[in-house]
Chains A and B, each alone.
Chain A
Amino acid sequence: SQKIEQNSEALNIQEGKTATLTCNYTNYSPAYLQWYRQDPGRGPVFLLLIRENEKEKRKERLKVTFDTTLKQSLFHITASQPADSATYLCALDRRSNTGKLIFGQGTTLQVKP
């Protein structure tokens, strides 16, 4: 069956370090993948989109990679700050004409000062 997996355990890192979050998927061939940030009790906010023919995408301190062979996306936050503490969700396209996304459960990142 189709599955998206994000590490359910919280990731704790020290301020200034690089945070790396993982999104693995099985039995999908998504055309693109998105990453969202979600703060407690609030709606997800879009961060980055990467297409299947792109290996890497950057936006300020954020970097996303997409390896369709490994069926994995990595999300990096460099020079992390306590304000980066949140839950990060990956979402995959289902290759349909409906624009439907399927979301992972999210990984909570805690950046300690």
Chain B
Amino acid sequence: EAQVTQNPRYLITVTGKKLTVTCSQNMNHEYMSWYRQDPGLGLRQIYYSMNVEVTDKGDVPEGYKVSRKEKRNFPLILESPSPNQTSLYFCASSLSQGQRNNEQFFGPGTRLTVL
């Protein structure tokens, strides 16, 4: 089944404790992206990657890191989480950087709480 998977689905942590949220897609998509969704603010892009070893900042990158060592994986790293990073996070992928009208496939989401 074609899908985007994220782990963990739920995480409660404390301020300053490094964490990684994994994202993997099995559709051979070139483009991958991370979003956070907050009430009243909608989906905001954190980082995106147009292909392996190519990453770039989205609209709200502060406090986050990403890497794209393999085509299928795009982990989101919070080196020192803070309470304002409490949010619902979504990973998404789409087919090709060259086709700007591709639909995005979203993962099931990771609900993160930072105490």
Contact = CB atoms under 8 A, between A and B. Distances in A.
Interface string B72-115: 00000000000000000010101001011111111111010000
A89 B35 CA distance: 14
Given A41-B109, A99-B31, A104-B42, A34 B103 contact: yes
| Range, interface on chain A | 20 to 34
Contacts of B58: 100
A97 B99 CA distance: 9
Contacts of A34: 103-104
A79 to B, nearest CB: 24
B7 interface: no
B43 A103 contact: yes
Interface in B1-44: 4, 31, 33, 35, 40-44
B11 to A, nearest CB: 15
B100 A31 contact: yes
A49 B103 contact: yes
A97 to B, nearest CB: 7
Interface of A: 8, 31-32, 34, 41-46, 49, 51, 89, 91, 93, 96-106
